[in-house]
Amino acid sequence: MDRFNLCESECRFANIVWENEPLGSGELVKLCNEELGWKKSTTYTVLKKLCQREILRNQDSIVTAIVKREQVQKFESEQFLEKNFGGSLPQFIASFMSGKKLSKTDAEELKKLIDSYKEE
């Protein structure tokens, strides 16, 4: 699962692909220049790395994602929770909510979400 561990620049790059796929590699170069300030060589270097890790695909100069954004977000969330809170979701929520109040609507929405994941 280490292939899902994207550094900041890889994540920003993948976001461009996820938001615009499928896209031609030339269009990707243009977007990376506009949004990241990258040169063509940098774009192709990062693209090659993410293709080798089977995150993205570049077939016939058309770039698409193999791995969905949600898969990477899930991996990164689990890594963050484990690293910072020993894997404890309640500890994370307590830390995050410290000094904050929820609206009734948000509280109800969170209750429904938690209930949907309860073990039977």
Is 55 within 8 Å of 65 (Cβ atoms)? yes
List, for residues 42-93, the tens digit of each pLDDT value: 999 999 999 999 999 999 999 999 999 999 999 999 999 999 999 998 899 8
Q: Which residue has the tokens 């948000």?
A: 106
Give the predicted TM-score (pTM) of the model.
Answer: 0.77
Chain center to CA of 81: 15
Is 73 within 8 Å of 32 (Cβ atoms)? no
Is 28 within 8 Å of 63 (Cβ atoms)? yes
pLDDT at 120 over 80: no
Which overall architecture, per CATH, does domain 1-120 show?
Orthogonal Bundle (1.10)
pLDDT in the model for residue 100: 86
Q: Domain limits of the chain?
A: 1-120
